Amino acid sequence: MRSVKFNIPFLTGNEKDYVNEVFASQEFSGNGAFTKRVQRMLEDILGAERVLLTHSCTGALEMAALLAGFGPGDEVLVPSYTFVTSASSIMRTGATPIFCEVDENTMLLDLNDLERKINENTKGIVAVDYAGFGNDYDRINEICEMHNLVCIEDAAQGLGAKWNGKSLGTHTRFGTISFHQTKNIHSGLGGCLVINNQDDVEKAEMVWERGTNRSAFFKGLVDKYNWQVVGSSFYPSELQAAFLCAQLEQVNENLSRRLKLWNYYERLLKPMEERGILRILREPAGCEHNAHMFAIILSNSQEADRLRLHLNENQIQAVIHYVPLHESPVGKELGYAPESLPITSKTASSLIRLPLHLSMNEDDIEYIVKILQTLYLPLD
């Protein structure tokens, strides 16, 4: 029987060559030639003020939370429908995440619900660009200005996507991007912090360098370096940076090929959508997505479970995505119940991600759609 895996990590073929260059140089520890090269590449791709590579997107989020100045007694608004580190990075500063609803049409922050939850303790927002879809940053930045809040743009899935013509990760004071192997462009593990305000660069480099002014020392700006602020060891090894360099050289080709597959899925599934059998998750107006995922939403959780089981029985690895954080054990400790965010709970349990990776071709998509149709259109 034919099978289609949910994900196969993208490879360009040049990763080994670049990693071998690191072995030849015997400079493994990080912040070396490849790190600097990749940071410049990302600054050019994103149009960003400054980019710092991190060992993970989790590390980038934790850096951003430190730089934002969150601390005990503060509240930070975050969607419940996200990966755990969008919230855990807040908690590691001593601040409390306040979970918000998502818009069921996009799975992005419901900004009306967010505004209702702002109070005197609110200090920030983590806006998650789910599926490489951009939030309404005009409105988010207006909210931040009105209430003196810091927004972190969690664009973990967003490399290559844009909102209003501007790259995801560059719309607020700090942005973060993931290079985990499940992402379009990856280094196995990895991430980056995007700094969009020149005034934040010096301190960000200190936090990145274990809290020291080591970067200034190597630039010749100080005679010796020492401990300046609370930081940690956030940057990756040169092996990760070399791997990522090879990937970024093909970022445009990667995006083009993924969009072609996404559009083919949409074309084949649109008739079922028109019959009301499913809904395709699409980007909001003003967004140019990056085909990070292809997701469909069924009428309820039971229907989603039935379809997922049917696909898996036919060797197609379709998966649910996040279990909302307010439904988790930690969410319950924070005082939430499943019914606290009903739209998030219902939509999250009804969403299925279909396979989408560059080891697939149009024949694979035709097979997936055919198997899906056998459950709903057995007579067609």
Q: What is the pLDDT along the chain (380 residues), one digit of tens a residue?
A: 799 999 999 999 999 999 999 999 999 999 999 999 999 999 999 999 999 999 999 999 999 999 999 999 999 999 999 999 999 999 999 999 999 999 999 999 999 999 999 999 999 999 999 999 999 999 999 999 999 999 999 999 999 999 999 999 999 999 999 999 999 999 999 999 999 999 999 999 999 988 877 666 566 666 557 778 888 889 999 999 999 999 999 999 999 999 999 999 999 999 999 999 999 999 999 999 999 999 999 999 999 999 999 999 999 999 988 999 999 999 999 999 999 999 999 999 999 999 999 999 999 999 999 999 999 876 44
Specify the pLDDT at position 58.
98
Specify the pLDDT at position 217.
58
In a domain, 20, yes or no: yes
In a domain, 10, yes or no: no
In a domain, 212, yes or no: yes
The whole domain housing 328 covers 251-376
Question: Buried b / exposed e across 188-218, counting CB within 10 Å, b at 16+?
Answer: ebbbbbbbbeeebeebbbbbbbbbbbbbbee
165 and 287 inside one domain = no
201 and 301 inside one domain = no
In a domain, 4, yes or no: no
Between 201-208 and 57-68, two packed helices, what is the crossing angle to 10 degrees?
Answer: 130
Specify the pLDDT at position 223.
58
Cα–Cα distance list, 309 to 280, 302, 323, 367 (Å): 19, 11, 18, 16
Output DSSP code: residue 319: B
- Out of 191, 213, 248, pick the residue that ends a domain: 248
Specify the pLDDT at position 231.
83
Question: Encoding tokens for residue 125?
Answer: 């927002």
152 and 197 inside one domain = yes
Share of the chain above pLDDT 90, in %: 91
Specify the pLDDT at position 229.
87
**String of DSSP letters for 190-225:** -EEEEE--GGGHHHHHHHHBTTB-HHHHHTTSSSS-
| Amino acid of residue 222 | V
347 and 235 inside one domain = no
212 and 257 inside one domain = no
Q: Give the long-range contacts of residues 278-284, CB within 8 A, separation 24 or more.
A: 281/106, 281/107, 281/131, 281/351, 282/106, 283/106, 283/131, 283/132, 283/133, 283/134, 284/105, 284/106, 284/108, 284/133, 284/134, 284/136
Q: Number of structural domains, the chain?
A: 2
84 and 212 inside one domain = yes
125 and 157 inside one domain = yes
192 and 261 inside one domain = no
182 and 281 inside one domain = no
In a domain, 56, yes or no: yes
In a domain, 9, yes or no: no
Where residue 24 sits, what CATH number does that domain have? 3.40.640.10
| Amino acid of residue 358 | L
The number of residues in the chain equals 380
Distance CA 26, CA 28 (A): 6
| Integer-rounded Cα radius of gyration of the chain | 21
Distance CA 184, CA 179 (A): 8
In a domain, 124, yes or no: yes
- Out of 223, 248, 273, pick the residue that ends a domain: 248
Specify the pLDDT at position 278.
97
Distance CA 235, CA 288 (A): 30
Specify the pLDDT at position 379.
46
3-state secondary structure of 340: helix
The pTM of the full predicted model, rounded to 2 decimals, is 0.95
Cα–Cα distance list, 334 to 95, 110, 151, 293, 331 (Å): 12, 20, 22, 31, 5
- Out of 188, 217, 248, pick the residue that ends a domain: 248
42 and 180 inside one domain = yes
Distance CA 182, CA 189 (A): 9
Between 301-313 and 362-376, two packed helices, what is the crossing angle to 10 degrees?
Answer: 120
Answer whether 33's CB lies under 8 Å from 27's CB.
yes
In a domain, 5, yes or no: no
Answer whether 320's CB lies under 8 Å from 353's CB.
yes
Distance CA 155, CA 133 (A): 9
198 and 228 inside one domain = yes
Specify the pLDDT at position 138.
97
Specify the pLDDT at position 326.
98
Specify the pLDDT at position 380.
45
